[in-house]
Amino acid sequence: MKKHGILNSDISRVLSYMGHTDTICIGDCGLPIPDETERIDLAVRFGSPSFMEVLEAVAEDMVIEKIVLAEEIKIHNPEVLSRIQELISNRNAETEVEFVSHAQLKERTGRCRAVLRTGETTPYANIILQSGCVFA
């Protein structure tokens, strides 16, 4: 039995396959997921698991060099944005942050290794994480 890190076998598998600059998305329960992109559905009920709960677990198990967020989160979900910024800056102050339109973020999910669907119900609680390198 695994001792540390993410226990979900699908998430663990996807993270272990990722190389430098590969991406993975964590989304709320309403984010559309392209048919060609792997869906890892974690949603149990509305609100569970939360977006932040999943992001925190993934961030502990992944080197993140860049994040992509929807511009709309600034106005429509500043609380979650603040929590994301705090989490990311505590892990690596040099992590690049890119804001794009929500439409562009949804389009980019088609190039992600997988989309992790949470039970989150707050607006624009979606993020794309770009993998960094574990060595310099």
Residue 10 marked in a binding site: no
Exposure string (b/e) for 51-90, b if CB count within 10 Å is 16 or more? bbebbebbbeebbbbbbbbbebbeeebeebbebbeebbee
Residue 90 marked in a binding site: no
Neighbours of 32 (CB within 10 A): 8
Residue 126 marked in a binding site: yes
Residue 114 marked in a binding site: no
| Active site (annotated) includes residue 20 | yes
Residue 28 marked in a binding site: yes
**Annotated catalytic residue: which of 7, 9, 20, 60?**
20
Up-side HSE of residue 11: CA atoms within 13 Å toward CB? 21
- Which residues are the active-site residues? 20
List binding-site positions for substrate. Answer: 28, 102, 124-126
List binding-site positions. Answer: 28, 102, 124-126
